[in-house]
Amino acid sequence: MASNEEITGPISQEDIEAADKLKNEANEYFKKQSYNNAIELYSKAIEKNPKNAVFFANRSIANLRLENFGYALSDASKAIELDRSYTKAYYRRAAAYMSLGKYKLALKDFEYVTKVRPNDQDAKMKYTECNKIVKKIAFEKAISVDKKEVNIADSINLDAMTIEDEYVGPALEDGVVTLKFVTELMEFYKQQKKLHKKYAYKILIDVKAYLQKQPSLIDIKVPDDAKFTVCGDIHGQYYDLMNIFQLNGLPSETNPYLFNGDFVDRGSFSVECIFTLFSFKLLYPNHFYMSRGNHETLDMNRMYGFRGEVSSKYTSQMADLFTEVYNWLPLAHCINGRVLVMHGGLFSKDDVTLDDIRKVDRNKQPPEDGIMCELLWSDPQPMIGRAPSKRGVGCQFGPDVTNTFLQRNGLDYVIRSHEVKNDGYEIAHDGKCITVFSAPNYCDTMGNLGAFITMNGKDLKPNFTTYEAVPHPDVKPMAYANSFFNMLCQ
2 in a domain, yes or no?
no
pLDDT < 70 stretches in the chain: 1-8, 144-150, 486-490
**Helices H, strands E: what count in the chain?**
19, 14
Q: Are residues 318 and 408 in the same domain?
A: yes
8 lies in some domain: no
- In the 8-state DSSP scheme, what is residue 382? S
Round to whole Å and give the CA distance between 275 and 278: 5
315 and 248 both lie in a single domain: yes
The residue from 196, 235, 287, 295 that is catalytic is: 295
Number of separate domains in the chain: 2
Q: Let me know if residue 148 belongs to a domain.
A: no
Residues 6+ apart with CB under 8 A from 294: 261, 262, 300, 343, 344, 366, 376, 377, 393, 418
Do 82 and 52 meet the contact criterion of CB atoms below 8 Å apart?
Answer: yes
Residue 5: what pLDDT? Answer: 47
Q: What is the CATH number of the domain that holds 26?
A: 1.25.40.10
Cα first-last separation, the chain: 23
What's the CATH number where 439 sits?
A: 3.60.21.10
Q: Please indicate, yes or no, whether residues 281 and 420 belong to a single structural domain of this protein.
A: yes
Last residue in a domain, options 78, 109, 143: 143
Same domain, 354 and 461: yes
* The pLDDT value given to residue 4: 42
If asked whether residues 480 and 375 sit together in one domain, one would say yes
Say if pTM beats, i.e. exceeds, 0.75: yes
Active site residue 235: no
Cβ(2)–Cβ(42) under 8 Å? Answer: no
Domain boundary among 143, 173, 191: 143
* Angle between helical axes of 13-31 and 35-48 (0-180°, round to 10): 170
Domain that holds residue 58: 13-143
Whether residues 230 and 82 share a domain: the answer is no
197 in the same domain as 51: no
The answer to the question of residue 120 being in a domain is yes
Distances (CA, A) of 329 to 46, 231, 278, 297, 335: 43, 16, 11, 11, 17
The residues with which 426 forms a beta bridge, in sequence order, are 435
Do 183 and 136 share a structural domain? no
pLDDT of residue 146: 56
Give the Cα separation of 487 and 490 in Å (integer): 5
217 and 111 in a common domain: no
Phi, psi of 306 (to 5 degrees): -65, -45
**Which of 447, 479, 418, 452 is CA-nearest to residue 293?**
418
Residue 181 lies in a domain: yes
Question: Are both 280 and 159 inside the same structural domain?
Answer: yes
Burial of 462 (C-beta count, 10 Å sphere; 0-12/13-18/19+)? middle
In-domain check, residue 314: yes
Of the candidates 143, 164, 194, which is a domain's last residue? 143
Q: 170 and 254 in one domain?
A: yes
Question: Does residue 1 form part of some domain?
Answer: no
DSSP annotation of 219: E
- Determine, yes or no, domain membership for 192: yes
Residues 163 and 138 in one domain: no
